[in-house]
Amino acid sequence: MSDAVLELDAIEKGYKLGKPGEIRVLRGASIAIARGEVVALVAPSGAGKSTLLHIAGLLDSADAGTVRIGGQDLTRAKDRARTSARRQAIGFIYQFHHLLPEFSAAENVILPQLADGLPRAEAEARAADLLGRVGLENRAGHRPSELSGGEQQRVAFSRAMANKPLILLADEPTGNLDPATATVVFDTLLSLVRDTGMGALIATHNPDLAARMDRVLRMEAGQLVDRTAT
């Protein structure tokens, strides 16, 4: 795919378990995600979902295969290049928000931008815009402990998108929320991704949420199988 923001090609990954050998978690897993495409990743616990996300996010290395982000081959990139790519090209959202508790919602969105060298005035303006998009313009000065679970996760979404990444990687982003709040928060996530035109790979156990995405990929025997039509 010439317009792919994320390409994983024939990814292999195993973990050693001592003398008996190793467990092969990924066996030639491949995926290409285009700009503006939202892809669901569905897999039972222990099937390799988190491992795949960590490799896609350059937090772990594959034993074999190729990782490209925005067309750039980062498979064997040095630590500095991987760190730079994570900061500039990849947005992460987890099941738990991981916001910095001592900082306000706005400051949590501003800090990644300052780390990337953006002037503070520009970082503040972008934080205000992102928080406004998720309906939190009146909560920007509140710390995480003063926000509801859904509000905290929406701040996490804004933080993940602060540096205008090419690809968003989300691991059960609504897993800690009640069903009604999860639906509202997921609507917000989809809207942000569509508006910004980035690609997204979202791991979820929720079949209703998965069905709302462009494609549904299931992890089976270490590979990714398209289950969109089933």
Q: How many domains, the chain?
A: 1
Q: Has residue 6 been placed in a domain?
A: no
Q: Has residue 22 been placed in a domain?
A: no
Band (pLDDT 50/70/90 cuts) for residue 19 is low
Q: Has residue 198 been placed in a domain?
A: yes
Q: Has residue 26 been placed in a domain?
A: no
Mean pLDDT of 168-196: 82
Mind giving me the DSSP string for the chain? -TTEEEEEEEEEEEEE-STT-EEEEEEEEEEEEETT-EEEEE--TTSSHHHHHHHHTTSS--SEEEEEETTEE-TT--HHHHHHHHHHHEEEE-SS----TTS-HHHHHHHHHHHTT--HHHHHHHHHHHHHHTT-TTSTT--GGGS-HHHHHHHHHHHHTTT--SEEEEESTTTTS-HHHHHHHHHHHHHHHHHHT-EEEEE-S-HHHHHTSSEEEEEETTEEEE-TT-
* Residue 227 near residue 32 (C-beta atoms within 8 A): no
Asked whether the predicted pLDDT for residue 48 surpasses 80, the reply is: yes
Q: Has residue 49 been placed in a domain?
A: yes
Mean pLDDT for all residues in the chain: 88
Band (pLDDT 50/70/90 cuts) for residue 199 is very high
Provide the domain limits for residue 92.
38-61+83-226
Asked whether the predicted pLDDT for residue 229 surpasses 70, the reply is: no
pLDDT of amino acid 20 = 64
Q: Has residue 140 been placed in a domain?
A: yes
Q: Has residue 27 been placed in a domain?
A: no
pLDDT of amino acid 188 = 81
Mean pLDDT of 88-95: 87
pLDDT of amino acid 1 = 45
pLDDT of amino acid 140 = 93
pLDDT of amino acid 18 = 66
Band (pLDDT 50/70/90 cuts) for residue 30 is very high
Percent of the chain topping pLDDT 90: 45
Band (pLDDT 50/70/90 cuts) for residue 32 is very high
The CATH number of the domain holding residue 129 is: 3.40.50.300
pLDDT in tens, 121-147: 999 999 999 998 888 999 999 999 999
pLDDT of amino acid 69 = 94
The least confident of 57-66, 68-77, 181-190, 209-218 is 181-190
pLDDT of amino acid 135 = 86
Q: Has residue 23 been placed in a domain?
A: no
